[in-house]
């Protein structure tokens, strides 16, 4: 409740909107994680809701055996669906160059030069209160098809700057203590499974998991049931 004094000294009271929150489990290697970002960013920009960003490693790194036991039809359908869904949503899309997760002889069981640091940067951005903006900016650099060699030059630094972050400071913190950031990712992955699923993107609101970018509308529906309100103009 907020109380102000009116023009003639009379008190004026109104209810302040309740800020809702949800957890977001998200991977830099997931095309569907990229596809949900514009809607998540718009949700937070226009409503009294806060996203708790909890980056996780992709399944190819966490559980490579998941891909080793898939039906041969799984990958062709996945690729067709990813491009179709991006077109349906009106988003620019191309498989990243390079892929954030590297393979050798069809196996993911090799050192990964990109995805661990990317995920740790996501953790650092979340700890600095700009996690959602960082995921939004970086995922567009990686997945939109507008950038080759996203891992080189100033691409990530510029994305971080657009997200309101000091990339040099954040990257130095990540590089100085990768073990601590890896431990945070591990905590996120344990919490994700405890919440009810292992895939990304996964949103958890009110203890209820919403797996997949196509469950965004259902999450907002639940939020409206809990009093989701628009943000007041500044």
* H/E element, 191: helix 178-195
Task: Write down the pLDDT at residue 68.
Answer: 79
What's the CA gap between 188 and 131, in Å, rounded?
Answer: 14
Length of the chain: 234
* DSSP per-residue letters across 46-113: HBSEEEEEEE---HHHH-THHHHTS-TTHHHHHHHHHHHHHHHHT------SS-SS--BTTB--S--S
Task: Write down the pLDDT at residue 12.
Answer: 42
Per-residue model confidence as pLDDT tens for the chain (234 residues)? 434 344 455 554 545 568 999 999 999 999 999 999 999 999 999 999 999 999 999 999 998 887 778 898 999 999 999 999 999 999 999 999 999 999 887 788 888 899 999 999 999 999 999 999 999 999 999 999 999 999 999 999 999 999 999 999 999 999 999 999 999 999 999 999 999 999 999 999 999 999 999 999 999 999 999 999 999 865
Question: How many other C-beta atoms are found inside a 10 Å radius of the C-beta of residue 195?
Answer: 19
Q: Is the dihedral of CA 208, 211, 216, 221 positive or negative?
A: negative
Q: Is the dihedral of CA 158, 164, 169, 172 positive or negative?
A: negative
Q: Which domains does the chain have, with CATH numbers?
A: 22-225 (3.40.30.10)
What's the CA gap between 72 and 132, in Å, rounded?
Answer: 35
Peptide bond before residue 201 is cis, with ω within 30 degrees of 0: yes
Contacts of 223 (CB under 8 A, 6+ apart): 20, 22, 47, 49, 205
Global confidence as pTM: 0.90
Task: Write down the pLDDT at residue 70.
Answer: 82
How high does pLDDT run on average in the chain?
Answer: 92
User: Residue 90, by phi and psi: left (phi above 0), alpha (psi -120 to 50) or beta?
Assistant: left
Task: Write down the pLDDT at residue 191.
Answer: 98
Tokens 């990257």 found at: 171
Q: Per-residue pLDDT tens for 20-71?
A: 999 999 999 999 999 999 999 999 999 999 999 999 999 999 988 877 788 9
Task: Write down the pLDDT at residue 21.
Answer: 98
């Amino acid at each position: 409740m907020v109380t102000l004094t009116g023009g003639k000294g009379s008190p004026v009271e109104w209810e302040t909107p309740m800020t809702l929150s949800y957890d977001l489990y998200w991977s830099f290697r997931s095309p569907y994680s990229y596809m949900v970002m514009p809607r998540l960013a718009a949700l937070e920009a226009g409503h009294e809701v806060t996203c708790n960003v909890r980056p996780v490693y992709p399944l190819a790194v966490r559980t490579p055996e998941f891909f080793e036991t898939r039906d041969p039809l799984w990958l062709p359908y996945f690729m067709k669906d990813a491009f179709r869904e991006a077109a349906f949503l009106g988003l620019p899309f191309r498989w990243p160059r390079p892929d954030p997760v590297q393979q050798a002889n069809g196996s993911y069981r090799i050192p990964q030069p990109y995805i661990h640091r990317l995920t740790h940067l996501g953790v650092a951005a979340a700890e600095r209160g700009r996690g959602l903006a960082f995921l939004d900016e970086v995922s567009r650099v990686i997945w939109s098809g507008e950038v080759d060699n996203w891992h080189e030059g100033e691409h990530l630094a510029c994305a971080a700057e657009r997200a309101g972050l000091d990339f040099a400071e954040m990257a130095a913190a990540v590089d100085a203590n990768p073990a601590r950031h890896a431990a945070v990712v591990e905590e996120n992955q344990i919490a994700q499974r405890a919440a009810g699923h292992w895939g990304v993107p996964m949103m958890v609101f009110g203890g209820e998991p919403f797996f997949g970018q196509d469950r965004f509308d259902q999450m907002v529906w639940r939020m409206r049931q809990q009093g989701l309100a628009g943000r007041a103009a500044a």
